[in-house]
Chain A
């Protein structure tokens, strides 16, 4: 596989469920990111990992918990979400200095019911 792979593509979960989103990159990049895209809003940065260390948490509620076990894998653990958390969650990767831009995964479309 090449590029950035995200699973699952679609997820419907109840407010009391616990689920995880997975991201894997095969590009040899050292930085990975979680972004949230809600309808009619710009992409919102959630978390940044450089060399598997978290370097930014953009005031994200604790019901979102990231995990980066190595430079190629990134998870987003979800628990007790709210309906307003329904959105497209995008993973991206880059070199640590992303002067070449990011490569995005296809995203997970999350619906909280």
Chain B
């Protein structure tokens, strides 16, 4: 089983649509979670961290379910500029409680927003 799994898509949605991405992770000791965005031929950029209580940043809402080892990202009122690959990212700590200092990336979900 992959450490971080995402539906690769692609998701093709019209402007204004609401779209949701899901991600599962295999390491129950994982401690911090992120969504990154990667535009074509560019580097990944942090979109938002994901907190246990869920968090929102404008049109973007992230949710975490530790029991199910599941993370989601909801994008409301999609814009053309939201077209990108969305990467689910997990940081796992070792048994000693110190971070490995490495993030594990999912393969990404491709989103295309069309007029």
Please tell me which one of the listed residues A45, A101, A105 contacts residue B43 in the complex, with CB atoms under 8 A apart: A105
Chain A residues 88-113 with CB under 8 Å of chain B are 88, 90, 94, 96-107, 109
Shortest Cβ distance from B91 into A: residue: A98
**How many residues of chain B get a CB closer than 8 Å to chain A's CBs?**
26
Q: Which of A99, A100, A103, A107 has the most CB of B within 10 A?
A: A99
> With A42-B106, A42-B107, A99-B91 in contact, do A104 and B45 touch (Cβ < 8 Å)?
yes
Tell me how far the C-beta of B22 lies from the nearest C-beta in chain A, rounded to whole angstroms.
Answer: 16
Q: Chain A residues near B101 (CB, 8 Å)? A: 31, 48, 50, 55, 94, 96-98
Shortest Cβ distance from A90 into B: residue: B43
Q: Chain B residues near A56 (CB, 8 Å)? A: 100, 102
Shortest Cβ distance from B8 into A: residue: A40
Q: Is the CB of B49 within 8 A of A96?
A: no
Shortest Cβ distance from B49 into A: residue: A101
Interface residues of B (CB under 8 A from A): 4, 31-32, 34, 36, 41-46, 49, 87, 89, 91, 98-108
**How many residues of chain A get a CB closer than 8 Å to chain B's CBs?**
27
Q: Is the CB of B99 within 8 A of A96?
A: yes
How far does the alpha carbon of A31 sit from the alpha carbon of B100 in the complex, in Å? 11
Q: Which of A42, A48, A100 has the most CB of B within 10 A?
A: A42
Q: Chain A residues near B31 (CB, 8 Å)? A: 99
Tell me how far the C-beta of A54 lies from the nearest C-beta in chain B, rounded to whole angstroms.
Answer: 12
> With A48-B101, A48-B102 in contact, do A101 and B107 touch (Cβ < 8 Å)?
no
Query: Top 5 A-B pairs ranked by shortest CB distance?
Result: A104-B43, A43-B105, A42-B107, A97-B99, A101-B46
Q: Is the CB of A99 within 8 A of B99?
A: yes
